[in-house]
Amino acid sequence: MSPAMRAEPLRAVGGKELPPPRKRMGRRERALAILLAVIVALGGAYVGIGKLGSRQEAASGPAPAARPRAAASPSPSPRAAASSPARTFEFFEGRDPFEPLLKPPPPTPSPAPGDTAAPAPVAPADAGVQGRRVSLLDIFKKGAVLYALVAVDADEFTVKQGEVFATNFRVNVLTQKCGSFSYGDEGFTLCVGQEVIK
């Protein structure tokens, strides 16, 4: 091209001027453009791998059991025949979260009226559970000091903050409704009316 041709502005077919040519990118703009391209490529790869993984899970999952059909009848449309049955979670077995894990043993039958043998000892309901039952019965105030009424098994203790009771238990902190206790190195919290086995 001759220099004279470069000097005159380029005109489009409709007679309008074209915008001036773009300036070359500087080092900073080029680095930002490359960084943006890398981020877009990584995002696309992440989405692509996610879709590929979901396809593989669907392909490798257990095949649904075939449902018996009553009689062969013409299907209303080809789409209805091609649809697969809904996926179910047959592998999941529900459990009642409020059902106790340890069940008490069944009651022993009472002896017959003519039987004079000594009755068998009845195990308490918590026979399978080892430990001591700790209950916070009440928290009350005497003067400016809070006291807790705590039951350990069948024994009751009136204790204040910092006291040791029932050999291994200690009162750490008392509030109006709850208390923080420790059993050896293990800490626990009880509110009035709650109990725990330690």
Q: What tokens appear for 178 in the block?
A: 């709850």
Sign of CA pseudo-dihedral 165, 142, 195, 127: positive
pTM over 0.75: no
- In terms of Cα–Cα distance, which of 143, 139, 141 is closest to 180? 139
Question: Amino acid identity of 29?
Answer: E
User: In angstroms, how far apart are the furthest CA atoms of the chain?
Assistant: 132
One pLDDT digit (tens) per residue for the chain, 198 residues:
555 455 555 555 566 676 666 677 788 989 999 999 999 999 888 887 776 655 555 555 555 555 555 555 555 555 544 555 555 555 555 667 777 766 677 777 666 665 555 555 444 555 555 788 999 999 999 999 999 999 999 899 999 999 999 888 999 999 999 999 999 889 999 999 999 998
- In terms of Cα–Cα distance, which of 163, 134, 136, 166 is closest to 148? 136
What architecture is the 133-197 domain classified under in CATH? Roll (2.30)
